[in-house]
Chain A
Amino acid sequence: MNNAKLKKESKLCCFVIIVLMFLCVVPMILVLSSSLSTEEDIIKYGYSFVPRHFSLDTYVFMFANKGKMILNSLWMSVRTVLCGTLYTLVITVCFAYAVSQKKKVFRFAKPLSFFAWFTTIFSGGVLPWYIMCSQYYGLRNNAWALFIPYGISVWNMFIVRGAFRSIPEEIFESARLDGASDFRCFVSIAIPLAKSGIVTVALFSVLTYWNDFHLSQWLITKADFYTLQKLLYSMLSSASFLLQNSTGMESILSNIQIPAETAKMAVAVIAIAPILVAYPFFFRYFVKGINVGGIKG
């Protein structure tokens, strides 16, 4: 084989991939650098990849003047992620275990699978959903509205079902012979053995809740219940949002220039940072989850 040519081609491939990697990282560097610039520089020279004058002014301003708003939305996001993940996970894992059973154990396993799957091909649309949530279930402008409607994600349920199904039947049989109850089989055998599937789904749902905007866009109008994403959206969509929701009058009276541009970038950084920090830990679970859920469904 022509070894030199092979090496050259491989180098070319590496180069293409490096360019693509660069393309993924560059926007984030830009946002970080902008949040660390001064507002005047952004207005005068535009966004830049390296801050012209390094300053933490934006962050200081945000936490000094808007601290309550930011911490409140951060708390909303964190609380939604915690409650939501727990809630989704319990429902999904229980349902998945029931439908993973063989026909002779649970006759309705297959019909219930279909019952869940059908919702992925036909839906009533967002409008009836919105009316049911906001007027009948009382899920409007409260913390519940941020996670209750996402009780079960059908694709995640299928990932967990796959994990339960891959456990060898003999393990359960021998446990039953030893007198283990159904409950015992579920809690002490099935869940520990399907751990990696469950962890994957848990991480998926953490990200879903952290990044969610759909629920807060439809069901939340009060600033008290804004999550970080909704706060960022409000800041991006109206330049005067920071002025409207001033915590105290002094910021308007003293006529401080509000760093509107850098403030947006700072909130974006706050929204990205937790994902970046946790990323190295969850990456391998995600690749696994994508491979299971991406194809086999």
Chain B
Amino acid sequence: MNKNGKSKKNTLLKEVKSSWFYWMLALPGIAVLIAFSYIPMAGIYLAFENYSFKGGIFGSEFVGLKNFEFFFKNIATAIRATRNTITINLGGIVVGIIINVSVAIILNEIINEKFKRLAQAVMLLPHFLSWIVVGALSEAFLDTDGGIINQIICFCGGDPVSFYSSPGYWWGIMIFAIVWKGFGYGSVVYYSALLGIDPALYEAASIDGASRWRKIWNITLPLLKPTIIIMFLLNLGGILGGSIDMMAGMTKLNPLLLETTDTINTFLYRATIQNSQFGMSAAVSLYQSVFTCILVLGANLLAKKVDPDYALF
């Protein structure tokens, strides 16, 4: 027994000795992950206490499920935030996939290589702009007095629409903005998947007399399916999240638009920074994390069931 333990200790020592260099390399990364990801995970405990600045995360008064009671009392706001988050994100993903795949296929039909590269470069450009800049761009279009869209409406004889005070338009506007910003990136991904398709397949189909549409429908799309599913899964994880940049940039957290633009993240921001309702936002935060995790794992399980090759992990 004693001897066994000693030899185990020796191997451990040897192990550390032989790989200390790699431990040193990994150490800063481990530290950052612990500090900014794992400790906040433990901080979910916050949802069960009455947070005070003095007590901090781990020393405040434990109140059990009281925060959730508060959360359910405000259930209308929580449901509204969830509804908006899912509508905007899911809309962006679904419309995005349709547009991205179409653009990739169209790009693939073009013969001129130089033009193709130029097109990719230009279409990728919006991806590199920040949401705040996109917000500035959209203001030039949506502004009530001088925006381009209202100029067109007026030119056609209509009455100007005040976009920044009518929430009804904002699901559409947000989805359009998400797709506009992301379609260059998405089409590059699908386009490189298209390049991997064996040209012999198309040649064989041509000999059999297949039309262009038929080839797209029966060869291109089925072969793109794994990529589409993986992209969908990757994006599904963010469906309850989405960056605060996006909503803040586009709407400036405008109170008039909250009906359709209050997402879980903006709700958290308002509850925390503006109203200091820590317990409540901790409860929302926990709910968001748990559902995101379930969504990712569930989507992956589903993919595995359809075809093990589709799964991410």
B272 close to A46 (CB less than 8 A): no
Contact of B269 among A217, A267, A271, A295 (CB under 8 A): A217
Q: How long is the Cα–Cα vector from A43 to B92 in the complex, in angstroms?
A: 33
Chain A 121-142, CB-CB to B under 8 Å as 1, else 0, gives: 1111111111111011100000
B36 close to A151 (CB less than 8 A): yes
Contact of A31 among B28, B33, B136, B293 (CB under 8 A): B136
For B103, the chain A residues whose CB sits under 8 A away are 17, 20
A132 in contact with B43 given A17-B110, A105-B19 (CB within 8 Å): yes
B36 close to A129 (CB less than 8 A): yes
For B253, the chain A residues whose CB sits under 8 A away are 237
For B23, the chain A residues whose CB sits under 8 A away are 98, 108
Report the minimal beta-carbon distance from B22 to chain A, rounded to whole angstroms: 4
A123 close to B249 (CB less than 8 A): no
Q: How long is the Cα–Cα vector from A266 to B184 in the complex, in angstroms?
A: 25
Q: How long is the Cα–Cα vector from A200 to B296 in the complex, in angstroms?
A: 27
For A67, the chain B residues whose CB sits under 8 A away are none
Report the minimal beta-carbon distance from A268 to chain B, rounded to whole angstroms: 4
B43 close to A43 (CB less than 8 A): no
Give the residues from 130 to 184 in chain B that come closer than 8 angstroms, CB to CB, to chain A: 130-133, 135-141, 143, 145-148, 150-151, 180, 183-184
Q: Does B248 contact A (CB under 8 A)?
A: yes
A47 in contact with B147 given A31-B137, A297-B312 (CB within 8 Å): yes
A94 in contact with B29 given A121-B237, A121-B293, A295-B189 (CB within 8 Å): yes
A211 close to B140 (CB less than 8 A): no
B130 close to A271 (CB less than 8 A): yes
For B248, the chain A residues whose CB sits under 8 A away are 213, 217, 233
Contact of A283 among B106, B107, B124, B189 (CB under 8 A): B124
Chain A facing B: main interface SS = helix
Q: Does A95 contact B (CB under 8 A)?
A: yes
A94 in contact with B36 given A124-B41, A214-B243, A290-B189 (CB within 8 Å): no
Q: Does B222 contact A (CB under 8 A)?
A: no
A17 close to B107 (CB less than 8 A): yes
Report the minimal beta-carbon distance from B269 to chain A, rounded to whole angstroms: 7
Report the minimal beta-carbon distance from B82 to chain A, rounded to whole angstroms: 14
Give the residues from 263 to 287 in chain B that come closer than 8 angstroms, CB to CB, to chain A: 265, 268-269, 272-273, 278, 281-282, 285-286
B147 close to A275 (CB less than 8 A): no
Q: How long is the Cα–Cα vector from A34 to B147 in the complex, in angstroms?
A: 11
Contact of A271 among B29, B133, B292 (CB under 8 A): B133
For A272, the chain B residues whose CB sits under 8 A away are 129, 133
Chain A 45-59, CB-CB to B under 8 Å as 1, else 0, gives: 111000000000000
B44 close to A125 (CB less than 8 A): yes
Report the minimal beta-carbon distance from A163 to chain B, rounded to whole angstroms: 15
Contact of B188 among A46, A152, A186, A290 (CB under 8 A): A290
Q: How long is the Cα–Cα vector from A116 to B30 in the complex, in angstroms?
A: 8
Which of A22-30, A68-76, A169-177, A249-257 binds B?
A: A22-30
A279 in contact with B125 given A125-B40, A125-B286, A236-B139 (CB within 8 Å): yes
Report the minimal beta-carbon distance from B200 to chain A, rounded to whole angstroms: 16
Q: Does A159 contact B (CB under 8 A)?
A: no
For B56, the chain A residues whose CB sits under 8 A away are 131, 135-136
Give the residues from 1 to 58 in chain A that come closer than 8 angstroms, CB to CB, to chain B: 1, 9-10, 13-14, 16-18, 20-21, 23-25, 27-28, 30-31, 34, 42-43, 45-47
For B51, the chain A residues whose CB sits under 8 A away are 131
Q: Does B204 contact A (CB under 8 A)?
A: no
A261 close to B29 (CB less than 8 A): no
Contact of A108 among B19, B119, B289, B296 (CB under 8 A): B19
Residue among B40, B44, B248, B286 with the highest chain A CB neighbour number at 10 A:
B40
Q: How long is the Cα–Cα vector from A131 to B31 in the complex, in angstroms?
A: 18
For A242, the chain B residues whose CB sits under 8 A away are none
Chain A 250-294, CB-CB to B under 8 Å as 1, else 0, gives: 000000000001001101100110011001100100110011001
A94 in contact with B25 given A107-B19, A129-B43, A229-B130 (CB within 8 Å): yes
Q: Does B230 contact A (CB under 8 A)?
A: yes
Contact of A95 among B25, B111, B145, B297 (CB under 8 A): B25
B109 close to A13 (CB less than 8 A): yes
Q: Does A167 contact B (CB under 8 A)?
A: no
A127 in contact with B268 given A265-B140, A272-B129, A295-B227 (CB within 8 Å): yes
Closest to A137 in B: B35
Q: How long is the Cα–Cα vector from A107 to B56 in the complex, in angstroms?
A: 38
**Beyond A109-B22, A131-B43, A218-B269, 17 extra complex contacts between A and B, CB < 8 Å:** A13-B107, A14-B110, A21-B122, A45-B146, A95-B28, A95-B30, A125-B289, A128-B41, A151-B33, A212-B245, A217-B248, A233-B252, A236-B132, A265-B140, A287-B188, A294-B188, A294-B189
What would 26 A/B residue contacts be, using CB atoms closer than 8 Å? A9-B109, A21-B123, A24-B184, A30-B140, A43-B146, A46-B150, A47-B143, A90-B28, A105-B19, A116-B29, A117-B313, A123-B292, A125-B288, A128-B43, A131-B46, A131-B278, A132-B43, A182-B21, A211-B130, A212-B245, A230-B132, A232-B133, A237-B253, A265-B136, A265-B140, A271-B133
Residues of A within 8 A of B (CB): 1, 9-10, 13-14, 16-18, 20-21, 23-25, 27-28, 30-31, 34, 42-43, 45-47, 90-92, 94-95, 97-99, 101, 105-109, 112, 115-117, 119-133, 135-137, 149, 151-152, 157, 182-183, 186, 207, 210-214, 217-218, 229-230, 232-233, 236-237, 261, 264-265, 267-268, 271-272, 275-276, 279-280, 283, 286-287, 290-291, 294-295, 297
